[in-house]
Chain A
Amino acid sequence: MNWQAVKAIYFFEMARFFRTLTQSFVSPVISTSLYFVVFGAAIGSRIQEVEGISYGAFIVPGLIMLSVITQAISNASFGIYFPKFIGTIYELLSAPINFLEIVLGYVGAAATKALFIGLVILATAAFFVDLSIQHPVAMIAFMVLTCLSFALLGFIIGIWAGNFEQLQLVPLLVVTPLVFLGGSFYSISMLPPVWQTITLFNPVVYLISGFRWAFFGMADVPVGLSLLAIFGFTMACIGVIWWIFRTGWRIRN
């Protein structure tokens, strides 16, 4: 393993993050605060407690997931797409490194950034609502796994994308709807029965449900199933990346 290269890519990507610290740090704080103002204060005051939890606290896990997933995807996809776009990818291809090291560097950095933002949002949320986390270790584990798996997905999108529109396409058309419809702002039990069944085909439901269990000890679906879902999703992404690695798809001609 060329750990120097992994380190070089990781810190080079992190440097980009710190260079744009205002964007990276301030914008999630502001948008989370806005969500709390709108959903927590304005709408939440009219909503009864959801399964014994105040609505403001109930949406915290979903809000964190929303940002973490979006950030993990956009950071990882941009990280690998940008060198392709400006041509510096030649350096990655001609260096004595393999695909695993490239993935570790880019995905590791993207996941770190997403995790950082997730924690920032958690801290922001603590200002607005009373939060007690019942399973802190599981909460961190869920967050880390989500960061990693969606950074892997972002990496795949970055490799696949041929232009900036395509780079935005998957997050905008697929991921955002799935996250919004995945129970970020409501409990699945609040839906009509038909939709409860349909919702179970949305993989994000399992993530948010598991994550919410770590906070409040209650979930829409069994925690084991949530773990299985995120594990399966991570494996699927690794499988695709392994295939890209084998064939040189969209990278090496």
Chain B
Amino acid sequence: MAAMVEIEDIRKVYDGGFEALSGVTLDIEEGEILALLGPNGAGKTTLISTICGITLASSGAIRVGGHDVVTDYRAARGLIGLVPQEVNLEPFEKVRNTVKFSRGLFGKPADDAYIEQILRRLSLWDKRDAAIRELSGGMKRRVLIAKALSHAPRVLFLDEPTAGVDVELRRDMWEIVAGLKEDGVTIILTTHYIEEAEAIADRVGVINKGRLLLVERKDALMARMGQKRLRIDLQEPISEIPAALSDYDLTLTEDGGALVYAYDTNAERTGIATLMTEMSRAGLVLRDIQTSQNSLEDIFVGLVHTGEDAA
């Protein structure tokens, strides 16, 4: 089955010569939640804007549900709901009217029951006749989501849905996203909170300087994250790892002053206790020990830095 969103070698060069996207290729499967992770200015919003028709790509092709977003834009955009990063709303408009307006723009006939269902789901029903400017920041964000959902899209883009949002509201937002996934909606969200990607994404893509550096299933990334390293500094440097310790996954640092032991925190036995016993039997004296963990953040920072060095 073809992917829900197919992005083929998309490049975007702005008039000033700035290249916001340098050839991004990505397939997004139906029903998955993909988190696009990247620092500010990485090209996340440009990518979303290009898919949704707000920005024109300099080259490359994008299809949504098999429809090209330029030549067959009506069919493609009809499938898409977009929640923008900025809270852009008409301040004097009533909540319900602005959501109805969005539905109309997408060519759907009025459906009050459906609008009610969306507003209730987003806890906005009580505020349906309030003017937008009377709402709190969190509610305004929910209005943006309600507008995006008003025409029952198959693909939902959330651009930084939780930027500047308090912890409680962030959890609410995650629950809403999880509920939409259950309905089979494909969700692409951008974020610079790694925690957010960990909490809700099926796959994580890392983007920086207009390049997609990695796309991987979150559990695969988490498995890498489960790896811990134990660094054992030795009193006396050694030239090679003693044969007695060959059963352990050890590496010797270049100066021979420390051993690094990689182990899985999720395993039943870490083997640290026996390693210590074996080491003292082999006559090695410890000076210091420290552990460190691979986090998504490490992977992220590593990738972003490598990308910068290459650039």
Contact = CB atoms under 8 A, between A and B. Distances in A.
Interface string B157-173: 00000000000000000
Contact of A96 (B15, B78, B84, B147): B78
Interface of B: 14-15, 52-56, 73-78, 80, 82, 84, 86, 88-92, 97, 100-109, 147
Interface string A65-91: 000000000000000001000111011
Contacts of B53: 93-94, 252
A95 interface: yes
B102 A91 contact: yes
A7 interface: yes
Given A7-B104, A95-B77, A87 B88 contact: yes
Given A90-B54, A91-B82, 11 more contacts: A4-B105, A16-B92, A86-B88, A87-B86, A87-B88, A90-B88, A95-B77, A95-B106, A96-B73, A96-B75, A97-B105
B250 to A, nearest CB: 55
A248 interface: yes
Interface residues of A, number: 26
Contacts of A86: 88-91
25 contacts: A5-B106, A8-B100, A8-B101, A8-B103, A8-B105, A12-B104, A86-B89, A86-B91, A88-B88, A88-B90, A90-B52, A90-B54, A91-B82, A91-B105, A92-B105, A93-B52, A93-B54, A94-B53, A94-B54, A94-B80, A94-B82, A96-B74, A96-B78, A96-B107, A97-B105
Interface in A14-31: 15-16, 19
A253 interface: yes
B103 to A, nearest CB: 8
B89 A5 contact: no
B97 A4 contact: no
Contacts of B102: 91, 95
Contacts of B91: 86
Which of the listed residues A8, A9, A252 has the most CB atoms from chain B within 10 Å of its own CB?
Answer: A8
B56 A2 contact: no
A15 B97 contact: yes
Interface string A224-245: 0000000000000000000000
A248 B56 contact: yes
Prevailing SS type, chain A contact patch: helix
B274 to A, nearest CB: 60
Interface core residue of A4, A7, A94, A253 (most chain B CB under 10 Å): A94
B55 to A, nearest CB: 6
Given A88-B89, A90-B88, A2 B74 contact: yes
A196 to B, nearest CB: 48
Contacts of A16: 92
Contacts of B108: 4
A8 B56 CA distance: 25
A11 B105 CA distance: 11
A86 B88 CA distance: 6
A90 B82 contact: yes
B79 to A, nearest CB: 9
Nearest to B103: A8
A4 B107 contact: yes
Interface in A95-117: 95-97
B104 A5 contact: yes
Contact of A12 (B77, B80, B82, B97): B97
Contacts of A8: 100-101, 103-105
A253 B15 contact: yes
B50 to A, nearest CB: 11
A15 B90 CA distance: 13
A253 B125 CA distance: 37
A4 B104 contact: yes
B55 A253 contact: yes
Contacts of B80: 94
Nearest to B56: A252
A8 B263 CA distance: 61
A163 B104 CA distance: 28
Contacts of A93: 52-54
Contacts of A19: 92
B104 A94 contact: no
A94 B104 CA distance: 13
B52 to A, nearest CB: 4
Q: Which 5 A-B pairs have the closest CB atoms?
A: A8-B104, A87-B88, A95-B105, A96-B74, A94-B52
B69 to A, nearest CB: 10
Q: Which of B55, B89, B104 has the most CB atoms of chain A within a 10 A radius of its CB?
A: B104
Nearest to A97: B105
B54 A252 contact: yes
Contacts of B92: 16, 19
Nearest to B147: A91
Contacts of B100: 8
Contacts of A11: 104
Most buried by A among B54, B73, B91, B97: B54
Which among A82, A86, A96 has the greatest number of chain B C-beta atoms within 10 A? A96
A5 B76 CA distance: 16
